[in-house]
Amino acid sequence: MSNPSLLILPGDGIGPEVMAEVRKIIDWFGAKRGVVFDVSEDLVGGAAYDKHGTPLHDDTMAKAQEVDAVLLGAVGGPKYDVLDFSVKPERGLLRLRKEMDLYSNLRPAQCFDALADFSSLKKDVVAGLDIMIVRELTSGVYFGEPRGIIEEGNERVGINTQRYTESEIERAARSAFELAMKRGKKLCSMEKANVMESGILWREVVTEVGKDYPEVELSHMYADAGAMQLTRWPKQFDVIVTDNLFGDLLSDLAAMLTGSLGMLPSASLGAPMANGRPKALYEPVHGSAPDIAGQGKANPCACILSFAMALRYSFDLGDEATRLEKAVEKVLADGVRTADLLNEEGRTPASTSEMGDAVVAALEASL
Ligand code: IPM
Ligand code: MG
């Protein structure tokens, strides 16, 4: 049997440097745990635009459809701000999500003990926090038609459409219930049923799906109140399920509760392929951070933890995923800090590659 395949798309900004650290981790698992992947690498975002004039070449799209999992760094940068909307780096990422039909985006927000002081919220509000946001990723206002900028009378009108079919809501809800079953058996669904018809339908469908999961305690919240509750007392939540746009906002909020965007991974999952594995793309929640790109300052942990999610959700290697997560935890507990995790003056931060090396050393110590 051939090895499982991984397509690596480092992308732009800090993407390539954090991905270089993930390569060290992948190599370690191959050498020390017999977990060997066929790894290939390609371009996405601005890097792809620079070479091909498009943020995602058709050949790359085809490759992404064939592999067992895609690992992506980040896309975008100021250099590309002037480009036409249709070829902006972000379009490459959105095309991957849409064409791979990755409808369920898992964004965990976990507060590592060693970083509890780092949150902008009080320590007791965030210490031990472990929540999961499930964001619908292939529909809603991100993709709804009609869209565009049109002329009306003597002015222009910008149009986007929030649109959800029952089946789109159902499959996202189902994936959230399944996750809740494996976690704390609590699910909170967030929409704006008080102002949006799509929100009314969302609430109805989620409630209906919930009948298949009687053990899961289901609640509903308006998304604005949800944002408020997330900052007031985030530990009331276990799993949150919400639409594409609300999920974009709420997951950034939840991420910052934990102290640093540089720590948070994500998984975007679709329907099972012929081999039973879900279509999958893994990426850090942080962006391309052009202001620090190329300086060895970036924190590779979010990307490393995204690979841990790949081990768990694509390759059924939950124990190896835990080994990697524990290694990251140990490195933090030992006080290794990249610049984003330091607020003390006068301490020299670890570089991107020093952080990667420390995680490899902690893996080694785990044997
Ligand atoms: C995210 C990002 C993307 C989004 C951008 C880069 C298109 O903010 O993954 O949260 O809006 O979905
Ligand atoms: Mg976002």
125 within some domain: no
Question: Radius of gyration (Cα) for the chain, nearest Å?
Answer: 20
User: Do 11 and 100 belong together in one domain?
Assistant: yes
Last residue of a domain, one of 226, 257, 288: 257
Please report, for residues 136, 249, 292, the alpha-carbon distance to residue 144 in angstroms, rounded to integers and kept in the order given: 13, 18, 34
Same domain membership, residue 247 and residue 297: no
Active site residue 51: no
How confident is the model over 246-270, as pLDDT tens digits?
A: 999 999 899 888 877 788 999 999 9
What pLDDT was estimated at residue 209?
98
pTM of the model: 0.95
Instruction: Return residues with CB closer than 5 A to ligand 2 (ion).
Output: 248
Q: Which of 70, 75, 90 to mutate to test the pocket of ligand 1 (most atoms within 8 A of CB)?
A: 90
The pair of structure tokens assigned to 17 is 């440097």
Determine the distance separating the centroid of ligand 2 and the alpha carbon of 257, expressed in angstroms: 15
241 SS3 class: strand
Catalytic residue among 186, 252, 326, 357: 252
Among the options 27, 130, 224, 357, which is catalytic?
Answer: 224
Residues 228 and 311 both lie in one domain: no
Q: Say yes or no: 310 and 356 in one domain.
A: yes
pLDDT tens digits along 89-118: 999 999 999 999 999 999 999 998 888 888
| pLDDT > 90? residue 119 | no
For residue 2, is pLDDT > 80? yes
- In DSSP terms, 9 is beta-bridged to 72
Same domain, 196 and 239: yes
Identify whether residues 236 and 189 lie together within a single domain. Answer: yes
The answer as to whether 131 is a domain residue is: no
The answer to whether position 7 is within a domain reads: yes
Instruction: Write out pLDDT tens, residues 273-327.
Output: 999 999 999 999 989 999 999 999 999 999 999 999 999 999 999 999 999 999 9
On whether both 202 and 265 belong to a single domain, the answer is no
Q: Give the residue, by CA position, lying nearest to ligand 1 atom 6.
A: 90
Residues 55 and 49 sit within 8 Å (Cβ to Cβ): yes
DSSP 158: E
In a shared domain, residues 272 and 223: no
Residues 29-43 pLDDT 10s? 999 999 999 999 999
* CA 153 to centroid of ligand 2, rounded, Å: 34
**Type of residue at 113:** D
Instruction: Note whether 175 and 240 are same-domain residues.
Output: yes
Share of the chain above pLDDT 90, in %: 91
CA of 265 to the centre of ligand 2 (A): 12
Q: Are residues 144 and 225 in the same domain?
A: yes
| Residue 47 vs residues 11, 55, 58, 59, 60: alpha-carbon distances, Å | 6, 7, 15, 15, 13
Cβ–ligand 1 distance for 90 under 6 Å, the answer: yes
Q: What is the pLDDT of residue 347?
A: 83
Domain final residue pick, 212, 238, 257: 257
- 18-68 tens-digit pLDDT: 999 999 999 999 999 999 999 999 999 999 999 999 999 999 999 999 999
Residue located nearest, by CA, to atom 9 of ligand 1: 285
204 falls within a domain: yes
Q: What is the CATH classification number for the domain harbouring 221?
A: 3.40.50.2300
Clarify whether residues 238 and 252 are in a common domain: yes
Number of domain units in the chain = 2
Last residue of a domain, one of 242, 257, 272: 257
Ligand 1: which residue has its CA nearest to atom 4? 248
| Residues 208, 211, 212, 217, Cα dihedral to 10° | 110
The answer to whether residue 134 sits within a structural domain is no
Tell me the CATH number at 356: 3.40.718.10
Per-residue model confidence (pLDDT) at position 57: 98
Find out whether the beta carbon of 93 lies less than 6 Å from any atom of ligand 1. yes
Rounded to 5 degrees, φ, ψ at 214 are -60, -20
Task: Report if residue 135 sits inside a domain.
Answer: no
Catalytic-role residue among 80, 103, 142, 213: 142
**What's the domain range around 301?**
1-110+261-367
DSSP-derived 3-state class of residue 72: strand
Instruction: Report whether residue 248 contacts ligand 1, using a CB cutoff of 6 Å.
Output: yes
Domain match, 275 and 250 both:
no
- 3-state secondary structure (DSSP) of residue 309: helix
Task: Please report how many Cα atoms fall inside a 13 Å half-sphere around the Cα of residue 63, on the Cβ side.
Answer: 19
